[in-house]
C-alpha cells in the first residue's frame, strides 16, 4: 500500500507550515492540493468550495486542467461532489464515470480518471466544501484511506477558511457576506426584548487551528486517555450527586452518556485521529463535526437524540482536555453568546462579561436561562433551529430581540436598517426615562402602581432604573433553580433581606415556591408527568413538601424581622389550598416570635389567579385574602387550553378577547364586593393596550418586567380611563371582528400610541 501513517503525519506537518506561511492564496492552495495528492498517492486532488446558493466551485486542483479552476461549478446536489455535500458522508467509487450520480465536465479533463474518493469539508457550520482525490486505475479505497482523507479535510477546512473565506487581515468592522459562509436569517422566540450587535462567541469549546497538530504523538495519546478517564469520572460524579434524589429523566440521560463514553469504538476513532497527526483536541473536534453534520441530516427523533448526546460528550471531553483554557474568552464589549443549551447557572457566570446578546438553540431547556437573561437585561432569543450549525466563532451578528430574528453577517442594507431601529429605540427609551419620577396617573386621576417582576438580585437594579413603585412579583424559586442543591435556610433569609434592603421601603410581594411545570429542580425528585403544566406543581407541590415549604416561609418571616411582609401563593385552585398555606405561614410567624421575639409589623397575604376555577370562588375568600394577583401566563394557558411552552399554540390566543375580559370583569366585580385588592403580574400586562384593559377593569397594581414600565406608564398617563372604560365595555357587549384591533382603535382614539402593540 503506498499510503501510510507516516506519510500522513509528514503531510500534517507540511500543511501546518503552509498555514503558518505568507504568500498569495492561489499559490498556497496549489501547494496544499499538491501535498495532499502526494501523500494520498493520487493522480488528482481537488477542492470544491460551497457557495451561498449550495453550488460547489472548483477552487484548486492538482491533476485536473488548471483552467477549470474557478470555472467548474457544480449546481446544488449535482454529481458526486453534490452527493457528498448533501449527505455529508464520504463516497468511494472504483469507477466513477459509471456511477449514476456522476456528472461529466469536459473542461476539467477528467476522462482518464476512474477511482474517486470524495469527503465533506466540515466546519461548525456544516459542509463548507468537498475534497476529492482521483486515480487513473480502477481501485477501491480502504477504510484507513477514507478516514485519513477525512482528517485531512478537517485541517483543510481551516486552511480554506483562513485563506479564502476569512482573508486576513480582517478590517475593523467588515461585516461582508463571504461566499460559502452562513449569511442569512434565523428565527426564534424573544426571551428578553432588545437589540444587540456584535461578534459571535461560542459557548461550546472551539479548537483553534494552531492547536490542531500533534507535536508529540505519545503525549497526545496520553492526554486523550487521561481526558477520557476524567470525563468518565465526571459523569460518575454527576450520577452520584444526591443519587437517591435524582429524578428519572436526568438519570436516564446520564446512563446513556456513560454508555456512550464507555464505547470503545468512539475512543478508537479518537485515537485514530491522533495517529494520523491531529492533537487530542483536534481529533475530538473532528468527531464533533461529523456528529453535527449527521445531526443536520437526521430526521429520526431517536437518532437525533443520540447524536445530540454524542455532541454533548464531545463538548464535555473538549472541556476536560482544555481545562480553564477551554472556557470561552470574552474580550471587548462586543460579544454575542451563542449556545446550544445553557443552564441558568452557566449564564450567570457570564453576568459581568458585558454581553450584547444571547442566542440559544433549545427553547425548553433554556427557559430558566431566559429568565436569567431577562434579569441581566440582555437581548436574548431562544428556540432557534440550527443555530449552532449556522454560526461560527467571530461571525458578525445582529440580535433583533424585538421580532425574534438573528441576522448572520448582515449586509449593509440590513445593518443600516438595524441602526435606524437602534436610533428609534433609544429615542423611545429617552422618552420613558423622562417619565421616571412621575406617577402613573390617568388624565382623570386614577393612580395605578407599576411594579417590577423580579427573581434574582440582579433584577433589582431595574427598581430604580425603571422607576418602579415596588416589586409586584418576586419569584422565589429562581434561587433554587440557579443552585446546584437546595438553598439552606440562611441563604434564603439572606436573599430575601437583600431584596427588602434594595426595595428601601417600597412594597415587595414574595411569591412562595412555584416549582414544577417547566421549573424542575435536578436536586428534587419529581415524577415524570404526561402534562407537567397540569400536574404536581406550585402550591400543590409545596403543600405536599411541607418541610421545604415551611423552611421557605420561615426564611421569609425571619427576613422581614419586625418590618412589613407581603406573601402570595401561586396556582391556588380551591380555597382550602390557600387556607392551608396561610395556616402554615401563621404558624411560622408564631414560631419565629417565640424564638426571636420578632414578628412582621404588618402582614398581607394574597393569592394568584392562575386557574379559572379560583375566580368562581373568590367570594368565599372575602375577609381572608388581602389581594388577588392575576398570573396571566398560566391563567391564559388554562383558560384557552393552549400550552405556554408550545410555540405553535402559545401565542394563538389573546387576552384582549371578549371571553377573557368578561371573565376577568366578573372576577374583578367579585373581588371589589369582597374588598380584595386587584393586581396583575403576568407577562401580558407589559403590553400597553392590555395594561389599559386591566386598569379599566379596576386593577390598581400592575407588575411587569422593568423594560415595560416606561411604555405602560406613558399609555396610562395619556388616557381618560373613565371614557376608555365606557368604550371598552361597549365593545365587550357587542364584539365585532378582531377584538384586539377594536381595542387598538379605541386606544388610538384616546391618543395612545400603539405602534408596537
Ligand atoms: C404567571 O403564570 O403569569 C406568573 C406570573 O407566574 P410564572 O410565569 O412564574 O408561572
Ligand atoms: Mg404562573
Q: Which CATH number belongs to the domain containing residue 533 in this structure?
A: 3.20.20.60
Same domain, 393 and 507: no
Asked, for residue 757, whether it belongs to a domain, the answer is no
Q: What is the pLDDT of residue 310?
A: 83
Q: What is the pLDDT of residue 756?
A: 58
Range with lowest mean pLDDT among 186-200, 254-268, 345-359, 674-688 = 254-268
Give the residue from 379, 399, 424 where a domain finishes.
Answer: 424
Give the residue from 265, 299, 326 where a domain finishes.
Answer: 326
> Residue whose CA is closest, atom 1 of ligand 1?
631
Phi, psi at 542, each rounded to 5°: -65, -45
Of all ligands present, the nearest one to the C-alpha of 635 is 1
pLDDT at 179 over 50: no
Phi, psi at 385, each rounded to 5°: -65, 130
Q: Among 114, 681, 693, 750, which one carries the catalytic annotation?
A: 681
512 lines ligand 1 (CB under 6 A): no
Indicate which atom in ligand 1 lies nearest the CA of residue 475: 9
- Which CATH number does the domain housing residue 220 bear? 1.10.274.10
pLDDT at 366 over 60: no
Range with lowest mean pLDDT among 379-388, 470-479, 580-589 = 379-388
Alpha-carbon distance 419 to 195, whole Å? 10
Q: What is the pLDDT of residue 219?
A: 94
Of all ligands present, the nearest one to the C-alpha of 368 is 1
Mean predicted confidence (pLDDT) in 640-644: 89
- Tally Cβ neighbours within 10 Å of residue 129: 28
- 701-704 and 380-382 beta bridge pairing: unpaired
To test ligand 1's pocket by mutation, which of 474, 516, 631, 687 has the most ligand atoms within 8 angstroms of CB?
631
Task: Tell the residue number behind the cell numbers 368578561, with chain if given.
Answer: 662
- 405-408 and 396-401 beta bridge pairing: antiparallel
Mean predicted confidence (pLDDT) in 281-293: 89
Asked, for residue 429, whether it belongs to a domain, the answer is no
Higher-confidence residue: 371 or 425? 425
Instruction: Return left, alpha or beta for 406; rule: phi > 0 is left, psi -120 to 50 is alpha, else beta.
Output: beta
Mean predicted confidence (pLDDT) in 706-713: 93
Q: Is the peptide bond before 745 cis (omega within 30 degrees of 0)?
A: no
Same domain, 91 and 233: no
Asked if 136 and 43 count as a contact pair (C-beta separation under 8 A), the reply is yes
Q: How confident is the model at residue 171 (pLDDT cuts 50, 70, 90)?
A: very low
Q: Among 368, 407, 671, 750, which one carries the catalytic annotation?
A: 368
Of all ligands present, the nearest one to the C-alpha of 371 is 1
To test ligand 1's pocket by mutation, which of 372, 452, 473, 570 has the most ligand atoms within 8 angstroms of CB?
570
Asked, for residue 648, whether it belongs to a domain, the answer is yes
Highest-pLDDT range among 128-137, 144-153, 361-370, 476-485: 128-137
Same domain, 406 and 267: no
Asked, for residue 430, whether it belongs to a domain, the answer is no
Same domain, 566 and 687: yes
Same domain, 440 and 576: yes
Asked if 272 and 147 count as a contact pair (C-beta separation under 8 A), the reply is yes
Asked, for residue 173, whether it belongs to a domain, the answer is no
Can you spell out the DSSP letters for 311-331?
A: HHHHHHHHHHHHGGGGSPP--
pLDDT at 178 over 70: no
477 lines ligand 1 (CB under 6 A): no
- Which CATH number does the domain housing residue 359 bear? 3.50.30.10
Task: Tell the residue number behind the cell numbers 380611563, with chain if given.
Answer: 721
Q: How confident is the model at residue 363 (pLDDT cuts 50, 70, 90)?
A: low
Q: How confident is the model at residue 590 (pLDDT cuts 50, 70, 90)?
A: very high
484-538 pLDDT, tens per residue?
A: 678 999 999 999 999 999 999 999 999 999 988 767 776 665 566 788 889 999 9
Alpha-carbon distance 399 to 392, whole Å? 15
Q: What is the pLDDT of residue 425?
A: 92
pLDDT at 234 over 60: yes
294-349 pLDDT, tens per residue?
A: 877 777 777 777 777 788 888 889 988 887 666 677 777 789 999 987 777 678 77
How far does Cα 461 stand from its chain's mean position? 23
Mean predicted confidence (pLDDT) in 276-305: 84
410 lines ligand 1 (CB under 6 A): no
362 lines ligand 1 (CB under 6 A): no
Tell me how many helices (H) and strands (E) the chain has.
27, 22
Residue 4, C-beta contacts closer than 8 angstroms, at least 6 positions apart = none
Alpha-carbon distance 580 to 267, whole Å? 56
Whole-number Cα distances in Å, 213 to 123, 281, 321, 641: 17, 9, 15, 56
pLDDT at 169 over 50: no
Task: Tell the residue number behind the cell numbers 437583600, with chain if given.
Answer: 498
Q: What is the pLDDT of residue 541?
A: 93
pLDDT at 468 over 80: yes
Q: What is the pLDDT of residue 168?
A: 45
Same domain, 333 and 312: no
Of all ligands present, the nearest one to the C-alpha of 685 is 1
Give the residue from 263, 297, 326 where a domain finishes.
Answer: 326
Q: What is the pLDDT of residue 175?
A: 52
Q: What is the pLDDT of residue 66?
A: 94
The DSSP call for residue 441 is B
Q: Which of 369, 314, 306, 380 is nearest to 343 (CA)?
A: 369
14-38 pLDDT, tens per residue?
A: 888 887 877 788 888 999 999 999 9
To test ligand 1's pocket by mutation, which of 633, 683, 685, 708 has the most ligand atoms within 8 angstroms of CB?
633
Q: How confident is the model at residue 12 (pLDDT cuts 50, 70, 90)?
A: confident
Same domain, 318 and 332: no
Q: How confident is the model at residue 167 (pLDDT cuts 50, 70, 90)?
A: low
- Number of domains the chain contains: 4
Q: What is the pLDDT of residue 591?
A: 97
Same domain, 356 and 293: no
Q: What angle do CA 542, 546, 550 make, to 5 degrees?
A: 95
Indicate which atom in ligand 1 lies nearest the CA of residue 632: 3
Q: How confident is the model at residue 243 (pLDDT cuts 50, 70, 90)?
A: very low
Same domain, 461 and 577: yes
Q: Which of 318, 335, 339 is nearest to 202 (CA)?
A: 339
681 is catalytic: yes
412-465 pLDDT, tens per residue?
A: 899 999 999 999 999 999 999 999 999 999 999 999 999 999 988 888 888 999
Asked, for residue 311, whether it belongs to a domain, the answer is yes
Mean predicted confidence (pLDDT) in 71-93: 93
Q: What is the pLDDT of residue 371?
A: 73
Sort 256 into a burial class: Cβ within 10 Å, 0-12 / 13-18 / 19+: middle
681 lines ligand 1 (CB under 6 A): yes
Q: What is the pLDDT of residue 386?
A: 79
- Tally Cβ neighbours within 10 Å of residue 106: 10
Task: Looking at 352-460, list the stretches that DSSP marks H as alpha helix, in order from N- to C-terminal side.
Answer: 367-376, 387-390, 412-434
Same domain, 624 and 705: yes
Same domain, 486 and 557: yes
- Which CATH number does the domain housing residue 18 bear? 3.30.450.40
Same domain, 197 and 120: no
Asked if 575 and 607 count as a contact pair (C-beta separation under 8 A), the reply is no
**What is the chain's mean pLDDT, rounded?**
87
Asked if 254 and 231 count as a contact pair (C-beta separation under 8 A), the reply is no
Asked if 706 and 468 count as a contact pair (C-beta separation under 8 A), the reply is yes
Task: Dig out the grid coordinates for 193 from the structure.
Answer: 426584548
Asked, for residue 179, whether it belongs to a domain, the answer is no
Alpha-carbon distance 595 to 580, whole Å? 23
What is the CA(636)–ligand 2 centre distance, in A? 10
Give residue 235's domain range.
210-326
Asked, for residue 555, whether it belongs to a domain, the answer is yes
Sheet holding 91-93, edge to edge: 73-74, 56-62, 44-50, 126-135, 115-123, 91-93
The DSSP call for residue 618 is G
What is the CA(445)–ligand 1 centre distance, in A? 30
Q: Which of 611, 614, 592, 594 is nearest to 603 (CA)?
A: 592
Q: What is the pLDDT of residue 1?
A: 36
Amino acid at each position: 500500500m503506498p499510503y501510510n501513517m507516516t506519510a500522513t503525519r509528514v503531510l500534517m506537518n507540511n500543511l501546518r507550515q503552509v498555514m503558518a506561511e505568507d504568500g498569495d492564496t492561489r499559490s498556497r492552495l496549489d501547494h496544499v492540493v499538491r501535498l495532499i495528492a502526494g501523500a494520498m498517492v493520487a493522480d488528482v486532488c481537488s477542492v470544491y468550495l460551497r457557495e451561498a446558493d449550495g453550488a460547489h466551485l472548483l477552487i484548486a486542483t492538482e491533476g485536473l486542467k488548471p483552467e477549470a479552476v474557478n470555472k467548474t461549478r457544480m449546481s446544488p446536489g449535482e454529481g458526486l461532489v453534490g452527493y457528498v455535500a448533501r449527505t455529508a458522508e464520504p463516497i468511494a467509487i472504483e469507477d466513477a464515470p459509471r456511477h449514476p450520480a456522476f456528472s461529466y465536465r469536459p473542461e476539467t479533463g477528467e476522462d482518464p480518471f476512474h477511482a474517486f474518493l470524495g469527503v465533506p469539508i466540515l466546519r461548525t457550520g456544516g459542509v463548507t466544501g468537498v475534497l476529492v482525490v482521483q486515480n487513473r486505475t480502477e481501485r477501491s479505497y480502504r477504510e484507513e484511506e477514507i478516514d485519513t482523507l477525512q482528517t485531512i479535510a478537517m485541517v483543510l477546512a481551516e486552511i480554506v477558511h483562513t485563506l479564502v473565506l476569512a482573508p486576513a487581515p480582517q478590517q475593523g468592522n467588515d461585516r461582508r457576506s463571504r461566499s460559502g459562509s452562513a449569511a442569512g436569517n434565523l428565527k426564534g422566540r424573544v426571551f428578553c426584548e432588545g437589540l444587540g450587535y456584535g461578534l459571535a462567541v461560542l459557548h461550546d469549546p472551539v479548537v483553534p487551528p494552531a492547536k490542531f497538530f500533534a507535536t508529540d504523538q505519545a503525549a497526545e495519546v496520553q492526554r486523550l486517555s487521561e481526558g477520557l478517564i476524567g470525563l468518565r469520572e465526571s459523569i460518575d460524579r454527576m450520577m452520584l450527586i444526591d443519587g437517591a434524589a435524582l429524578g428519572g429523566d436526568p438519570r436516564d440521560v446520564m446512563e446513556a452518556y456513560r454508555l456512550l463514553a464507555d464505547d470503545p469504538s468512539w475512543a478508537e476513532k479518537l485515537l485514530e485521529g491522533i495517529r494520523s497527526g491531529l492533537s487530542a483536541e483536534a481529533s475530538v473536534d473532528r468527531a464533533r463535526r461529523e456528529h453535527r453534520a449527521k445531526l443536520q441530516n437526521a430526521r429520526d427523533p431517536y437518532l437525533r437524540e443520540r447524536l445530540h448526546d454524542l455532541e454533548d460528550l464531545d463538548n464535555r471531553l473538549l472541556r476536560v482536555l482544555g481545562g480553564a483554557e477551554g472556557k470561552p474568552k470574552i474580550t471587548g464589549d462586543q460579544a454575542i453568546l451563542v449556545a446550544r443549551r445553557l443552564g441558568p447557572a452557566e449564564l450567570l457566570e457570564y453576568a459581568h462579561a458585558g454581553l450584547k446578546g444571547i442566542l440559544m438553540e433549545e427553547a425548553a431547556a433554556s427557559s430558566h436561562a431566559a429568565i436569567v437573561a431577562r434579569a441581566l437585561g440582555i437581548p436574548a432569543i431562544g428556540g432557534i433551529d440550527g443555530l449552532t450549525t449556522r454560526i461560527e466563532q467571530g461571525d458578525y451578528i445582529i440580535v433583533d430581540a424585538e421580532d425574534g430574528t438573528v441576522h448572520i453577517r448582515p449586509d449593509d442594507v440590513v445593518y443600516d436598517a438595524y441602526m435606524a431601529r437602534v436610533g428609534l429605540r433609544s429615542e423611545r427609551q429617552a422618552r420613558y426615562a423622562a417619565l421616571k419620577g412621575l406617577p402613573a396617573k390617568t388624565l382623570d386621576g386614577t393612580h395605578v402602581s407599576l411594579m417590577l417582576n423580579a427573581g434574582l438580585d440582579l433584577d433589582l437594579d431595574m427598581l430604580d432604573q425603571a422607576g418602579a413603585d415596588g416589586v409586584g412579583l418576586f419569584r422565589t424559586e429562581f434561587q433554587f433553580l440557579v443552585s446546584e442543591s437546595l438553598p439552606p435556610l440562611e441563604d434564603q433569609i439572606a436573599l430575601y433581606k437583600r431584596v427588602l434592603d434594595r426595595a428601601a421601603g417600597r412594597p415587595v410581594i414574595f411569591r412562595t415556591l412555584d416549582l414544577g411545570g417547566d421549573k424542575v429542580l435536578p436536586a428534587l425528585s419529581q415524577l415524570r408527568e404526561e402534562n407537567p403544566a397540569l400536574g404536581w406543581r406550585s402550591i400543590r407541590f409545596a403543600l405536599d413538601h411541607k418541610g421545604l415549604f415551611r423552611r421557605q416561609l420561615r426564611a421569609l418571616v425571619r427576613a422581614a424581622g419586625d418590618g412589613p411582609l407581603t406573601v402570595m401563593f401561586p396556582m391556588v385552585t380551591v380555597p382550602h389550598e390557600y387556607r392551608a398555606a396561610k395556616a402554615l405561614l401563621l404558624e411560622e410567624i408564631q414560631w419565629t416570635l417565640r424564638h426571636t421575639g420578632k414578628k412582621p409589623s404588618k402582614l398581607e397575604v394574597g393569592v394568584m389567579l392562575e386557574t379559572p376555577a379560583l375566580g368562581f370562588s373568590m367570594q368565599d375568600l372575602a375577609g381572608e385574602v388581602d389581594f388577588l394577583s392575576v398570573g396571566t401566563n398560566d391563567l391564559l394557558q388554562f383558560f384557552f387550553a393552549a400550552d405556554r411552552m408550545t410555540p405553535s399554540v402559545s401565542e394563538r390566543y389573546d387576552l384582549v378577547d371578549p371571553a377573557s375580559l368578561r371573565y376577568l370583569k366578573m372576577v374583578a366585580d367579585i373581588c371589589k364586593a369582597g374588598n380584595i385588592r386587584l393586581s396583575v403580574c403576568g407577562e401580558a400586562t407589559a403590553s400597553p393596550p392590555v395594561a389599559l384593559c386591566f386598569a379599566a377593569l379596576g386593577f390598581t397594581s400592575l407588575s411587569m418586567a422593568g423594560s415595560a414600565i416606561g411604555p405602560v406608564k406613558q399609555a396610562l398617563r395619556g388616557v381618560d380611563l373613565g371614557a376608555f372604560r365606557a368604550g371598552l365595555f361597549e365593545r365587550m357587549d357587542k364584539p365585532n371582528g378582531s377584538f384586539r384591533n377594536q381595542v387598538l382603535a379605541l386606544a388610538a382614539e384616546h391618543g395612545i400610541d400603539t405602534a408596537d402593540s
